[in-house]
Each structure stands twice: as C-alpha cells, then as structure tokens.
Structure 1
C-alpha cells in the first residue's frame, strides 16, 4: 500500500508555477529538468506532470497482464534479443550495462529511471526527501519475497546501501554515488547514516545535502542482492526478487533467462509495468560488427536489437515491417588522455599543453559526422548535456590545428607518437579513426591501436590515450561524481582538481536550480580549462523491434527490462 506523497519543497513548487506561467507549455529542456527533480523528490509522474498543467503520458511499456496468444514463429512466449553478452559478478562492480540487462531478470532495483526523465518506484513504493535534502526516508514495498521464499524488507534495503558504501570492495562504483554517506576514515558507511525505522522503512541521515542519491539508486550497478550474496555462485544460486532465472550464460555468445513460475512475483500483482509475459528470453551476441546484427535480423534470428549505430540505420530501416525507435540522450564518447599513465617512463598527458593540443586539433563536428553519421548533437568537451538539469551552455570548443601543433612543439612532444586505442566496433572505431586523421592533419603523430572486446574491456580505465563510451545519466553532477572526482574507480582521466572536488560537493548540496546552474558553469569551465578530455557529441540512440513486440523500445540508459517484454 502506497503512502500519501509528501508535500514538495517550496522551491520546486515555485519552479512549477514559473514554468506554467510561460505557457502554453514549458519547452522540452525545462520540462525534463522539472520532471527529473520533482520525481526525485518523491512526486509521482502524474503529480509532476500535473504541476506543469500537462497530462501524464500513458506508460509506454505497460502491458495488459494477459499471456500472449500470438507471436513470431512457433513460440509466442519467447523473445530473442541482439546484445553483447558480458560476464557478470557483483553488480556494484558492473561497468557495462549489458551485464545488468541479464541479471535484471532476477535482481531488481529500488527505483527506475524513465525516458521522460522521471523516476518510478520499484522495490520502494515511495520516498520522502527533506526540504534540505539531508534526510531520505525510503518506504519499502510490502508483499515482496526473494525467490527462495524469504520476505524482502527494510533490512535488505539497509544492508544493500551499506554494501554500496564499502570503498574496500574492488571496483565498487556505487561508493562514488553514495560518497556522502561514507566515512573517509573507514571507507564504510558513517555511524547513524543508515537506520532501519521499522520493517518497511529506512532512513538515510546525511552529514550534508546531496540531491543525487535517487538517481544513483536507479543506475545499473544498484541491483539489490540477497543476504550472504556470493558473486562466484550467483548463477548456481540465483536468489533475487525478480520473475526470471538464468539458464545459460556464455559471454561473447549467448545468455538465456527462463520465467520462474514457482515464484509469486510482486510485479505481476502490482501492475508495475510488466507481467513477465515471456517464458524465455534469449540474448544473442553477434559481436561488435553491426553487419552481423543486420544479418541476424534479416535471417530472422533475432526479434529485437539492443542499439544500432548511425551509419547502419538506413540498412535497418529497410527491413520489412521492423519498427524503429529513436531517443535523444546524453550518451557519448570521450577521447581522453590519462594524466597518470606512464609511457616509456614518463607521463606525457600530465602536461596541459599536450592535452590542449589534442583538443584544439579535433573538430567535434567532424567527429560527429564521421564517427556517428551525424546522428546526434555536437558537445562542448565538458560532459554535461542540455538534457541534464542545471546544464550551463558553453562556447563551442576552439578548433585550431596550427595552434595545436605549436603547443605540442612547446611541450617538446613534436616527435612523440600518440597511441590512440579503441575497441574494434563501428562507431567508436570510426570516431577514433576520425580523431587520428584530424591529429595527423595538425602535424601530430599518432598510431591507431584497435583491440577486440575482451582486451579492451579489461583495460579500458587505464589506457594512456583511448576512447570510451559513456551512457546517459539523469544528472550532470552524477556523471561528474562518478568519472571526474578525484580517486573514483571510473575516473579514467587520471584527473584530480581540488577546486573541482570542492565545487562538486557544493553543487550536490545545492537545491535551487539556478544557483546550481551557476556552480555547474564553473565546473564545466574547469573541465574545459584543464583540457581533461575531448567529448565531441551526444548520441541519438536507435534500436529496432519486430512487429508486435511491446516493451522493447530503446531506453535512454540502454536498459532492457525482461518483465516488460510481450507480444501483442
């Protein structure tokens, strides 16, 4: 049973009134900004839309609850999805969303993030954030059980949050999302920070405000695991709250989920957007070459693609009767030097002149055109998108190949050969190829290194000079905390700037949107001034589904939700 939603902070209600007064309706950026903030503070999607004087859209992924009676071929209760199949482990250490798409069959989340920017309750029914954003009260959904019959309650939520706060756990990126709750002396949750109030209520008491925790709970490493969870045996003992079980996992080839009919799944009863209609869900890895995915679709081997890059969209559009789904996102690629990486005994990218030369030698417009077939928007080299609340517009980066060459000479690096590493796929490889051509045009020596997926994924965070794709996240401050704050596991740039860290802490604690935008402008400027990365464009993402498949449209953060897939 859901509680009455709390009254929203005055500053949010003031913002809603201002947006309504601009009529006939707020523009897309302002609307998305408000929806994200209002739902993060506990408003339902219907309430948030209503505050803007707009009708809430129907849940695009919601089904009827009936089992399908028709579908492709001879098995209407099966769906086959083209997707890279990754190995799995402790979810808090996941660094690729494909792993989570498989484990999402049985490991669920407190909250989900939707394509319109809102947050939706899952294993929580609702939550309340204090006006100062320094206290979170989480209401746990009642009637949920783990698939071994154990009740799911507030102790499970408190325990998982404590796990997220453990900085000693290898690769635990959730610690970056919950830094505010971590004692820097112990590397674990602060005393009194996580309190179980009763069997279905948890309170988080923060030493300082932080607006990003709800967004962090919706990110793909935030899957909830059972007591005594062991990553080494999670396939043999797949305890979770979700409606599926893993049958097969062969990284690089295939993975299979089968419906757990013995489990009385809460979602089928609560109308939470999914009924676990499919009896069998198969993930088929066609590799990093989109032509192989196209062949699989053409030959009827798959019913849905995960994500298809720009250059191959015309070929997929030509597939008879297949549906195309596009979405504007803050997904991107970075072409980044690692300031801590040593090459032949020295750190070439610790010199800001070298980093600035790399930036000035590259045209973001050319990188978008050649790397992603012009499907997206030009970015500004600071990794905050116009889709992010509090985004502050910046001037276009300076493109000056001649000056880039002079900076490299001043740094004594005119004869240094930069090894630019990328994965062997299409768009990231194409983007790196375009970067190579631009650097060579500027008189900067470069050699391309193209790695197969397993080698690339093993070393992505430590390469001296490479490309990495980053997914969409709800908040710009969230991306900065994960990837740009000093010492974080996902800080692949090797960058550490105390002024940035201090300003970021202030931005995470700032509720007023315009005050936070002013802070964001300074943060963006620091990333630009220190030439941390070339971040050239924002991706419009596209996938495809066979006729009659519901629940498979491209999610803004690359999620596939097994329980929401069905044939009509």
Structure 2
C-alpha cells in the first residue's frame, strides 16, 4: 500500500525551467511561499521538489499530516445535502461525503501545493498547451475493475460535455471544449498507453490543474459517468455509504469488500446535520453530538475555543457576494448597479457580517492572495452620490427586494447591505428563505447573496462566475470584452504579465457594478482534543482518508 500521508512528497518532476524562475522570484521576496507552491506544483513539480528549490523541509510546511492511530468513529457536523451527478455538485458538503469512495486525480493542499491522488504525477510543457498525466498504477475500483487511463480520458470527455445542465466542469475545461458542439475537441484527450493520458489545448491554458482539483471533479468509473454515486457506490476510495438521509445524517464505513490502494485510519465517519444555525452547532458540541465542525463562524469562533476545542484558522479568498442579476429590471440598468455599490461600505459588511474576521474587498472578486491580483484605486463610498444616480435612473421610488438564506454570516452580511441601502434612500424589502429551499434557485434570484469558495487563481473564479452563459453566472453578466480578455489571461503563465490583463478585468467588474463583494473571509474549524489532520482547508475540503485520532 501507499502511505497517503506522504503522497505530497512523491511523484512529479524534479525540476522545470518555469518553476526555477518562480523559485528565484520567491527568493527575491517577489512571491509568497503559497503563491510559489501553487505555481510550481501546477506545472507538475512534486511538493518535495518544489520545497527543495526554496530550501524548505516539507515536514515544516503548513498542513503537514501526521499518521493517526488505527480505528475509531469520528462525527462531523456538516449539512447533508442530496447527492447528484458529481459534475453538477455545487456545494463542498456533497463532495466531503463522496470523497470517501469517489477520489480525485489531484488535490489542493493547505500549503498551496497540488499533489497527485489517482495521478502519480503530471507534466506541463513550457507554454502550457500540452499536459501529460501519469496514472497511479495498482488501483482498482471497488467493483474489481482496474483503474486505468481509459477512466481518466472518459472523465475528461464527461467534464467537457457542456450540454449537461449544471455541469460547471465544462467551464473549468476551457479550450478543451469545442464551442460549436459543446463537447470535447477532437484530439484533445489522447490515451497514450494504459497509464498515460495526454491533454492538448488549442492555445495556452494554466487552469487545468486547479480545475481538476476542485470538488465537482470527482472521478467516476468510465461506465458510470453522469450518474448519481449514491445509486451505485462504485469508487476507488476506502469507504462506502451505509446510510444517507438528507438533512439528518450520512454514515461511511470502511469497505470490507475492497482492498484500498492507500492508507486510511478510521473505521467509520458520521456526518451530522444540525441545520444552518451556528447556535445549534454549539449546543450540539456541548451535548457531545459531534467531534469536529465543518466550519465555525462569527461569535462562535470564540465560544468553541472557550470550551477547549482546538481551533484551526486559514486565510482564504472565500467570500460572500450580494449581486443583482442583470436579466431582471431594474438591475439591467448599470446606473442602478453602480448606485448599489456606491451606497455600501465594505468595512461595515465585514464588521457586522463576520465579526471582522477577514479583510475588506473591492467588488471585483479577485483577491490580494491571487497571483495576478492588480491593485486599483480605492472604492468610493458615496451614499449621496448613489441616491443621485438612482434618481437619474428613474428608480428613486422602486422597491428593491434583497434575498438571503436564513443563517448566520450570509444573513448578517445581507442585513448590513440592506441597512446601508436604506440609509442611502433606497426602498428595500428583506426576504429571508430557509436553507431547505433557498438553494433550489440560488442562481436566478433578482437580488440576493451567496457564498463563494476560495479558488487558487483569480482567473478561475472569473471563469466560473462571470463568463457569459456559464452555469454558475448568477449575476447574469455578459460582456464580450471581458470574455475575450479572460480567455487571454487564461493563457498567460507569468503572473506579472497576467496582472496587466487582470487590471482591466477588475476595472470592468467595478465599472459595470457586477457585484457587491465586500470582504475576504478567514475560515475557522474546531475539533476535540486528540483528533489529527482535521485542520481547516482553504476550500472546506474534508478528506476522510486522512482523519483519525492521535496515536
């Protein structure tokens, strides 16, 4: 078996000319360590090789895992959502359950590195047009079939299928999708041999590795792509689902009928759904109903620490957007959208929405921790100017219904926006919808708030959320210049050069009033003493194979 606690230290290239350039930039203080790890390992460098380039021992890296004791049951507080075709997963909670048996080609680690799971290694050519993927050998599906390059290729074909409603993976595949057919381009995916796949783009694209490390890219058996994994349970992971009740609980147990390729420790994992209210989570912790939170928010961060639970914090590009949908009047008028932005102070949203646990943002959804972030002039908070612009647009008396889920930080942030809009003279009605129904229409509300996960690159989030016509474009934004520039940015490996394009993309976002995006979140998780490898992940990921109790 392969010891999964050491996967990030094996496989991958020993060197790469572009990675060596990045290492020099890091040594000169021009790149943070996290930024260097993202760039270098995305090219195929192993984490160990990347660390060696900058003289760091991997055992000292953020998120370094330890080997737990064998056995035990771990209970995790988390929403239990209905499962579906993984390509259409739209919440991390779904993947956290299926990750026990549906694994990924590549994973994103807390230190910023990418490492192989079902891939042993990969390599990008110097202009990022050709990627060679080397499949880890000796893996079998739990139905007995061998895992081979044919499975990898079939998943790429499925990911590229833009005709599947809600398939956000097609957005992540970029130039691999033929815009005429909404299917994979001819010749883009080639099975070289039983354990090698070659991926060829028509033009440079740096987003492949981050894209296939995101949670909707769970790898299905080649004959089951497009199906709901809850219906068949076929996967390469160590666990199987023994019970699943939406809104209540999900139970995984070590699969006795499957010889797992790696190492895992727990006998059983139970996901306990206590709803959206963090007060209920805290009460559940005090009542010994679970051992680890999915996340901890607001004032409850301090409360969990006060009862002696271990606290894990990570700085991220996770956020909340409060966006008008441009397919609905009056939000089709840029003056209305800009008036909304002018009326809201991001600092107030940060303070009231998440108890100040983060930093302010700038309404363009690109974070200072993204390699290509461009610094723009500060936002102007001008309530009087907002009212004048609203009057010019003829909507001084219009009623604005602002919708949110009924929870903690999203509700609180949206309340803070509504209060500021009212102070600026807007006629605002607040509508609060229970979580059980809110997510059914999250992309189509005329004016509402949504949370977004961290992504490794700024171009990733712009591709997913703001490109014309993509499944997760909840703002209804469509701008030909923006789309063209974004495609250009996807092909620029050098972050400094990409930043020049990003400056224009960020400016377009602000000028068009696409969204209120007021802050970047620090994320927190708490867990009982004695649990290991449970630290908060920048993207909320929980890999049950790594979890356990201290030896």
Give the structure-2-normalised TM-score.
Answer: 0.96
Q: Is 1:490 aligned with 2:472?
A: yes
Cα 1:404–1:513 change in 2 (3 A) is same
**1:324 partnered with 2:311:** yes
TM-superposed deviation, 1:310: 2.0
* 1:116-138 deviation line (CA, Å, top 9, x unaligned): 11101110010010101000000
Q: CA deviation at 1:424?
A: 0.3
1:37 aligns with 2:39: yes
The answer to whether the Cα contact below 8 Å between 1:61 and 1:550 also exists between their aligned partners in 2 is no
Shift, 1:50, TM fit: 2.0
- Residue 86 of structure 2 contacts residue 228 of structure 2 at CA under 8 Å; is this kept in 1? no
Contact 2:324 2:331 in 1 (8 A): yes
Aligned counterpart, 1:109: 104
Aligned counterpart, 1:62: 65
Count how many residue pairs are aligned between Structure 1 and Structure 2: 541
Alignment of 1:469-480 (within 5 A): 469-480=451-462
Whole-angstrom distance in 1 between the partners of 2:380 and 2:278? 33
Q: Judging changes above 3 Å, is the alpha-carbon distance between structure 1 residues 162 and 50 closer, same or farther for their aligned structure 2 residues?
A: same
1:46 to partner: Cα distance: 1.8
**Cα distance in 2, alignment partners of residues 512 and 541 from structure 1:** 29
- Answer yes or no: is 1:290 the counterpart of 2:278: yes
Mapping of residues 444-463 of structure 1, within 5 Å: 444-463=426-445
1:371 to 347, 353, 369: 353
In the alignment, is the contact (CA less than 8 A) between 1:460 and 1:468 conserved in 2? yes
Q: Describe how 1:162-561 pairs up with structure 2 within 5 A.
A: 162-229=157-224, 234-268=229-263, 275=264, 277-319=265-307, 321-341=308-328, 347-561=329-543
Partner residue, 1:95: 90
TM-score between the two structures when normalised by the length of structure 1: 0.93
Q: Secondary structure at the match of 1:446?
A: strand
Residue 405 of structure 1, CA deviation: 0.5
Query: Residue 119 of structure 1 is aligned with which of 107, 114, 117?
Result: 114
Q: Write out per-residue CA displacement over residues 278-324 of structure 1, whole angstroms, 9 at most, x where no aligned residue.
A: 111000011110000000101111100010112221211211x3101
Q: Quick check: 1:15 aligned with 2:22?
A: yes
- Shift of residue 393, structure 1, vs aligned partner: 1.6
Q: Quick one: distance in 2 between partners of 1:235 and 1:127?
A: 30
Secondary structure at the counterpart of residue 545 of structure 2: helix
SS at match of 2:270: strand
Deviation at 1:186, TM superposition (A): 0.9
The answer to whether residue 35 in structure 2 is matched with residue 5 in structure 1 is no
Structure-2 separation of matches of 1:503 and 1:462 = 26
Q: Distance in 2 between matches of 1:35 and 1:3?
A: 15
Range 56-65 or range 456-465, more displaced: 56-65
CA–CA distance in structure 2, aligned partners of residues 306 and 457 of structure 1: 18
Deviation beyond 4 Å, 4+ runs, structure 1: 1-4, 230-233
Structure 1: gaps of 5 or more residues: 69-76, 269-274, 342-346
Q: How far 1:56 moved relative to its partner?
A: 2.3
The CA distance in 1 between the partners of 2:382 and 2:69, in whole Å, is 60
Structure 2: tracts of 5 or more residues without a match: 3-9
Query: Within 1, Cα distance between the matches of 2:17 and 2:88?
Result: 34
What residue number does 1:72 align with? Answer: none
1:58, distance to aligned residue in structure 2 (A):
4.6
> Equivalent residue for 1:145?
140
Write the deviation string for residues 247-300 of structure 1: whole angstroms up to 9, x where unpaired. Answer: 1111111111111122111122xxxxxx2x111100001111000000010111
1:73 equivalent in structure 2: none
**In the alignment, which residue of structure 1 is the partner of 2:6?**
none
Question: Which stretch has the larger CA shift, 286-295 or 39-48?
Answer: 39-48
Contact 1:192–1:205, Cα closer than 8 Å, also in 2 = yes
* TM superposition shift of 1:334: 0.3
Measure, in 2, the Cα distance between the counterparts of 1:460 and 1:386.
27
